[in-house]
Amino acid sequence: MIRTADRDGVRIVTLDNAPVNALSYALSTELVPIVETAEADAGIKAVIFTGANGLFSGGADVNDFTTEPTPQTKTVRDVIARVEAGSKTYIAAIDGNALGGGLELSLACDYRLITPRSRLGLPEIKLGLIPGAGGTQRLPRLIGAQDALQMMLKGELVKAQEAKTKGLADEIVDGDVVEAAFALLARVLPEAPKRRVSSRSVALGKGMQLMALPFIIASAHKMVPPEENGGFAAHKLIDAVQAAFELDFPRGLAREARLFDELVRSAPSFALRHIFFAERQLGKVPGLGSAPPREIARAGIVGAGTMGTGIAIAFADAGIPCVVVEPSDEQIERAKQMVFGMYMHQVQRGRLTQEVAWSRGQSIAFTSDYAELADRDLVIEAVFESMDVKKQVFAKLDAIVQPEGILASNTSTLDIDAMAAVTNRPDRVLGLHFFAPANIMKLLEIVRGKDTSPQTLATAFKLGKTLRKVAVLSRNAFGFIGNRMLFDYAREAIGLAEEGVAPHRVDAAMTNFGFAMGPFAMFDLSGVDVFWHISAARPDMGAGRTKIVDRLYEAKRLGQKTGAGFYTYDKAVGKGRQPIPDPDVERLFAEEAGKAGIAPRESTDAQIVERLSYALVNAGAKLLEDGVALRPGDIDIVYIYGYGFPPHHGGPMWYADEVGVKKVYERILEFRRELGPQWEAAPLLAEIAAKNGTFAAYRPTEKELTHA
């Protein structure tokens, strides 16, 4: 796991713990005596830390966070403490990523050399944690508190040039970074003094006075979410950086360690670590085996609407040229303007150069001729959500696209098998459900038809990675995972408004819980007409007990795009995107509720959250027992990346465990008595509750795996 070599009085220590050189307990336990041995060897003048596998280190092993180290076990803190106390000169020779504990190890060194492809970061905040091996104390001393706070609160990676500019790295070197370290040592030894970051005084930032500290700390606390709404770790991080100013280095380290240990046992961190591990399970699909994925070198898209154009941009960003077929010249022009506007915006924001933006834009071709799709490896239809229309498109594509080409539908609800049935290649047909805007949203639902081959699925998962999407498998079923659950969520949101709870109150309760937006704002964003069409197609999944959606649809209140839906929108307020509560809609709800005989019903914010979140849990349990979703974690990923479920609650299924599945089940039984048969509890939910179990411990049966 660690390789050492001596050369000219320098010990080279290579971290070799594939795949990311994680500084696990095991590796740290091995590393401590290596540092101690180097310190005890009079012939060793310096130590160079470097990494194998094309990177320095991805940081601590996340699996270790739930395990208490034994007295014999060493951690990265122990490694860094030995380096800190040592008398040798230490150099971090960084090629590739240095993240988390890996970067903290480098901060304990005297010099940090990086290559142009290096990326440095302390992303612990994304796991509901703070750097726990000195990062919050050393980084402010090295680059200033303001830059350090921004870097750690965002948890994003810093590119090489920015790292050099900030002072995070001493040099950017081309070629072999270890050889560059030897060249550096030749310049500074033998007189090289120790350059420990811990001995530096803490600075706020360039041109800033220490008297500004209270203002910076107070401002930082105001900029992050409240502790109870996803900001728990952020506030602790700010406290740790404040300690770097107010305490000496040893006591600052102790404060950081106490805050880290508090966070590692917190519910938000457990939830975020669940997401981390759930995401890494997504591609593990029973029956997929070792099917080799096909290469997607050229793609095609049918439909140049907002979704089709967004998908085209996603392909262009991934370096895959595509042709978009659209019969309407007017729509093609709008699509071209969308592509041009998006890339122009990227250039203006400094995210792309003119040359790169031009190249990507030119990789998207528009035509009305289906024949241009003949040589495509993959064609995705993104046309109107009508089965008849989609069948016509699939039949046409089957006759034109090369026999080995994969045909995919971007449908959000419809039957993939019905589309595959009109082709002669059902094994190469599947659903690729992108989420709007397709070039930005990370979620991709991969929908497996009954005849979809393992190779086609493997190709889809590889494509998801290429497009930088989080790909989740769903079995073919109406609405798949996300939208099928959304119907129950929407039903209860509408139900609350029918009972007299104003839409803006429902939305406020859910955003206070941590959702990115409330249900009614979401309906308006996606379009009330979309809501209406789905409800009309599947009345058994009706949105509510009244005709409220019909009334809005008939009144052309279709959401943001028409300036009115469940809310009104004023172009002078938030560029027409800010929902404004509308008393007329509340009166409309009351009128429709009166016709349906629905009595007003008081609901607290906590009861609103229960009703909507438990509807998701119950629907998710049904999807698991039907084999539509493979794992509870898959459902959680869909809802976090696609529907804005608060990550610090881990997704709906994890949240049920957080509350207690038995408690959720008992509350659903109450809803069943109070509200009707739509609240019939899923058998799987009842089964887990009876055992006082958790969804985290759920494992699908062989039957369910076969279905999936």
pLDDT 10s digits, 144-186: 888 999 999 999 999 999 999 999 999 999 999 999 999 999 8
Catalytic residue among 30, 36, 104, 687: 104
Distance (Å, whole) CA 41 – CA 44: 6
44 or 188, higher pLDDT: 44
Dist. CA 559–CA 585, nearest whole Å: 12
What's the pLDDT tens digit per position in 519-543?
A: 999 999 988 888 887 777 676 665 5
What DSSP letter does each residue of 614-672 carry, written as one string? Answer: HHHHHHHHHHHHTTSSS-HHHHHHHHHHHH---GGGTSHHHHHHHH-HHHHHHHHHHHH
DSSP state of 125: G
15, 21, 27, 30 alpha-carbon torsion, rounded to 10°: -10
Please count the residues of the chain: 708
**Whole-number Å distance between alpha carbons of 446 and 432:** 5
Distance, CA of 565 to CA of 559 (rounded, Å): 4
Same fold, 2-264 and 483-559+585-690: no
Task: Give yes or no for residue 307 having a pLDDT over 90.
Answer: yes
Catalytic residue of the set 84, 124, 610, 704: 124
**pLDDT tens digit sequence for 554-579:** 999 999 989 999 999 988 887 778 99
User: What pLDDT score does 378 carry?
Assistant: 98
For 101, other C-beta atoms within 10 Å of its C-beta total 29
Catalytic site residue 591? no
Name which of 31, 158, 35, 162 is nearest 90 in CA terms.
35
pLDDT at 542: 54
> What is the rounded CA–CA span in Å between residue 515 and residue 94?
39
Question: Does pLDDT of 704 surpass 60?
Answer: no
Strand partners for 5: 12
CA distance 171 to 177: 10
Residue-wise pLDDT for 40-99, tens only, equals 999 999 999 999 989 999 999 998 888 888 888 899 999 999 999 999 999 999 999 999
Domain 2-264 superfamily per CATH: 2-enoyl-CoA Hydratase; Chain A, domain 1 (3.90.226.10)
Residue 702 has pLDDT above 50, yes or no: no
pLDDT at 340 over 50: yes
> Residue 366 corresponds to which amino acid?
F
pLDDT in tens, 248-257: 999 999 999 9
Tokens representing 450? 């009954």
CATH level 3 topology of 483-559+585-690? N-(1-d-carboxylethyl)-l-norvaline Dehydrogenase; domain 2 (1.10.1040)
| Residue 474 DSSP symbol | E
Nearest to residue 344, comparing CAs of 359, 354, 333? Answer: 354
Gap between the Cα atoms of 426 and 407, Å rounded = 9
The pLDDT mean for the chain works out to 93
CA distance 395 to 392: 5
Classified by CATH at the fold level, domain 299-476 comes out as Rossmann fold (3.40.50)
Compute the distance between CA of residue 224 and CA of residue 227 in angstroms, rounded to an integer.
Answer: 9
d(CA 321, CA 299): 6
* Measured distance CA(652)–CA(657) in Å, rounded: 9
Strands 89-94 and 46-51: parallel
- Does the pLDDT value for residue 289 go beyond 70? yes
- What one-character-per-residue DSSP string does 352-364 give? S-HHHHHHHHHTE
- The residue ranking higher by pLDDT, 1 or 100, is 100
Separation CA 430–CA 425 (nearest Å)? 11
Is 104 annotated in the active site?
yes
Question: Looking at residues 180-203, what average pLDDT do you find?
Answer: 85
Q: What is the DSSP letter of 159?
A: E
Domain ranges of the chain: 2-264, 299-476, 483-559+585-690
